[in-house]
Structure 1
């Protein structure tokens, strides 16, 4: 340390650091927190139904809001028996199952659901206030796929859904994601009028973007999905893919 009256102080410190190897340097972080909160689901995915089986009203409300706020369909049951009834009538894809509930607990409800038609396919994840990880084997033996502990952490809830359902999310501040398009096949263009196919072919061979865009609009007036597919390929200058799919 060096210090001088009316001038301030200078502090120095030596750290015993080793030089890093290039192989140890990680790439840019992909932490979800950097792009903001989850605000929805990427378009083009299945419409998943989520059932919340929970006896505490505040937990029911929290989980239901977390599901609905990003676009899942959600229903709530107050105990295991109600959960079984809703499973049979609504056929959810995923169930949040509380461990301890009156009338019928989550373990018994899970065992019974697994014996019902479609019960082997549904994902069931336990929610428990227990801090004892040794209960994991008890939950899995009852037929549950996984578990999360209370109090709920938003990222754990959404990560669990992504893990078991494969859902993809839209994050606040992230670039807009283009929904996947169906591969273009000759069958998709075979139903177009011959004049429309001919104009589309001539437009593509002219390499004039405006003429190509007009030809796509005219050819797909009755088929918005085909228009999206053709427009996507044209915008990415993949003209050969369209020409290859055009019937001779």
Structure 2
């Protein structure tokens, strides 16, 4: 007698395919409603709570999908649909889906397709992508730092050609005594990991069942590297007799560049060193909208500490800061053998003759005077980063952030103007220079150009300790602020 297929039981009842609609539709409705809410005008706290709801709903939908997929596999409801597909495009499009998750964690994502892989093969692209996505999700989930690498190879056996794919990571790895259990359902090495990293423990089980349904095999390479994990699978494929291309003739519609058969998805890490918290926020938002990963600190001493522990591709350095200024910090960076080659772009509200030369003399790679526009900042960064061609276009979210920060900005500017007026009254020229410098930069970044220009005039007079015109300029500064507030 033929062996009866086992059924996956949930409270003694299986979940047939007919209930898919009833289970998925409510979650899709929740996500749709959340997306509509995201497009409305929300306060910062409301927006944060909406993001929490969205994340939870997406996680729950993923769990529902996994349980439904397992149910269909166990009930024999999975059908295969082999069709000609472009292998490089299939792999690369799958990596495009996973790339944002890798960027969030600062992980490097690499793809290597060997030259012997034909461009077009016959296989079930949907199942293939599902297996690869599950493996990539696992790799990212269990990897704190380092890289995820995908290797694609082809075994041109005349009787049974196979496509082989490996996904490796630099994560926590799998204890040898747990390897035999990792492809079992509802298993995730142990309960501690399940609590820490989440998930149902169905991902690898699904991969195994899907690969086997395509006639292939999946396994864990326990002895190939000391750290991390390597999962490999192969699936039999057919050759597309209608259109065979050599590996070098890649479709121009591909979403990534396939030169040298290697693709790198490496998030660009930028450190902002700026003592003004508002300036930190707006510069960070500008950079994030262009696809950069950003961290910020308030002075040179913090900058040096962070650079000792984390890798950054570029530093944006404010030159006037408390505790340790940008000049001293940059000089110390250039003395460190491990840091000396990192690009450092000076950000300063100084625009006086000799300021640029002073910044370059201490070791800065280039110089950017405040106020600057977003495009000017990004273009200056592009000059020093080879990976800049992959940066995305800016979104509209920076305008939303500016609107949310306006109350804080106005309060900050008023405080600076009040402190500046007191410094003028007491003829404290050092204090006048310092405050007007900060005011010039902050106002300029947010587009309050008249306010920035007046603060610049005050700074110039304070440098020469010319007091006569300062009281009148303070009055003009207050008027500029009132005009800006009315405009807003």
The separation in 2 between residues aligned to 1:160 and 1:45, in whole angstroms, is: 21
Any idea what SS the aligned residue of 1:50 has? strand
Q: In the TM superposition, what is the alpha-carbon distance from 1:171 to its structure 2 partner?
A: 4.0
1:69 maps to 2:289 = yes
Aligned counterpart, 2:268: 48
Q: Which structure would you say has the larger RCO, counting Cα contacts within 8 Å and 6 or more residues apart? A: 1
- Residues matched between the structures, number: 134
Residue 384 of structure 2, aligned match among 148, 160, 164 = 164
> For residue 114 of structure 1, what is the aligned residue in structure 2?
334
CA distance in 2, matches of 1:165, 1:45: 14
Q: Is the 8 A contact 2:291 2:392 kept in 1?
A: no
1:123: Cα distance to partner?
0.4
SS at match of 2:383: helix
Among 337, 343, 347, the alignment partner of 1:127 is 347
Q: Is the 8 A contact 2:330 2:362 kept in 1?
A: yes
- How far apart are residue 51 of structure 1 and its match? 0.1
Q: Aligned partners of 1:158, 1:117: CA distance in 2, in Å?
A: 27
Q: Distance in 1 between matches of 2:292 and 2:316?
A: 13
* Shift, 1:74, TM fit: 0.9
**Structure 2: how far apart are the matches of 1:68 and 1:154?**
11
Going from structure 1 to structure 2, the CA distance change for 1:68 and 1:124 (only over 3 Å counts) comes to: same
The yes-or-no answer on 1:102 pairing with 2:322 is yes
Task: State the alpha-carbon separation in 2 of the partners of residues 119 and 170 from structure 1.
Answer: 27
Q: Using the alignment, how far apart are the partners of 2:271 and 2:321 within structure 1?
A: 15
SS in 2 for 1:127: strand
Q: Secondary structure at the match of 2:384?
A: helix
What are the superposed Cα offsets for residues 59-89 of structure 1, whole Å, 9 maximum, x if unpaired?
Answer: 1001111122222111101000001111111
Determine which structure has the larger helix proportion and give its number.
2
What is the match of residue 307 of structure 2?
87
- Residue by residue over 1:81-132, the C-alpha shift from the partner in whole angstroms, topping out at 9 and shown as x without a partner, is 0011111111211000001000000000001111123222100000000121
Counterpart secondary structure, 1:108: helix
1:155 aligns with 2:369: no
| Matched-pair contact (CA < 8 Å) for 2:290–2:393 | no
TM-score (norm 2): 0.26
CA distance in 1, matches of 2:274, 2:374: 17
Question: Deviation above 2 Å: which 4+ runs of structure 1?
Answer: 42-46, 169-172
TM-score (norm 1): 0.50
Residue 45 of structure 1: how far off its partner (Å) = 4.9
Q: Distance in 1 between matches of 2:353 and 2:375?
A: 20
Residue 277 (structure 2) aligns with:
57
Residues in 2 aligned to 1:131 and 1:117: alpha-carbon distance in whole angstroms: 31
Shift of 1:54: 0.2
| C-alpha separation in 2, matches of 1:148 and 1:58 | 18
SS of 1:51's partner is strand
Separation in 1, partners of 2:336, 2:311: 11
Distance 2:294 2:340 in 1: 20
Can you give the 5+ residue segments of structure 2 that lack an aligned partner in the other structure? 1-99, 101-254, 257-263, 395-488
Give the alignment's Cα RMSD to 1 decimal: 2.4
Unaligned 5+ segments in structure 1 are: 1-39, 173-248
